[in-house]
Amino acid sequence: MGIFFASRMFDDFAILSGEVVFSHELEDVADWIVEREKYSSGTAVIMTLSNHTSRTTKRVFDKFASESGDYGFTKTVVPVRLARYGDDDLVSRSQARRLLARVDRFKLVMLDFDGVDAIGQAFADEIFRVFPAQHPEVSVVEIKASSPVRRMISRARSAG
């Protein structure tokens, strides 16, 4: 939770550790976690912030915190494209379950479909019919979805 909020306080934020890089750039761009050639034996944290930013701590916390003002970590954005392995299409229930791992800890889950052109029926059904039936306390909403993705989501929701 600390890294999540800290990464959103800065214009650019990156952690390089071993063979893993975590990166968050700009306020509304998704996080990246990638493997690469080993960086070094230690860990580097890189943070940049414009001297003239209008970003405030309150605005960052309010974007992801509960409505009650207690700053509980209740909202998350999940970049769906990261559920793909290579050029694989997102078609299976197992892919959907991997994407949804641990999201039941939130009240609002925003699935960011940016860069995803299409999804399969089983993938959509698992996320938008099965998961909500098992976790009615969690709201799952799609953002940045293409027309074909929105149609598949609508189909899955109407099957419930």
The Cα–Cα gap between 79 and 116 comes to 10
Question: Does the pLDDT of residue 100 top 90, yes or no?
Answer: yes
Mean pLDDT of all residues in the chain? 84
As a residue count, the chain comes to: 160
24-to-3, 6, 13, 148, 152 alpha-carbon distances in Å: 10, 10, 5, 28, 29
Q: Which of the two residues, 114 and 22, has the higher pLDDT score?
A: 114
Average pLDDT over residues 24-33: 64
Under 8 Å between Cβ of 121 and 129: no
Distance CA 72, CA 67 (A): 9
Question: Average pLDDT, stretch 132-152?
Answer: 95
pLDDT at 29 over 90: no
| CA 122 to each of CA 5, 57, 94, 125, 136: distance values in angstroms, whole numbers, following the listed order | 33, 40, 9, 5, 20
Q: What is the pLDDT of residue 19?
A: 76
Domain ranges of the chain: 1-55, 74-160
pLDDT tier at 5, thresholds 50, 70, 90: confident
pLDDT attached to residue 15: 86
3-state secondary structure of 145: coil
CB contact at 8 A, 130 and 100: no
- Assess whether pLDDT exceeds 90 at residue 155: yes
Q: Is a pLDDT exceeding 80 seen at residue 158?
A: yes
Q: pTM value?
A: 0.63
Q: Is the pLDDT of residue 10 over 70?
A: yes
pLDDT digits (tens, 9 = 90+) for 38-97: 666 788 888 988 898 888 888 877 776 656 555 556 788 888 988 887 778 999 999 999
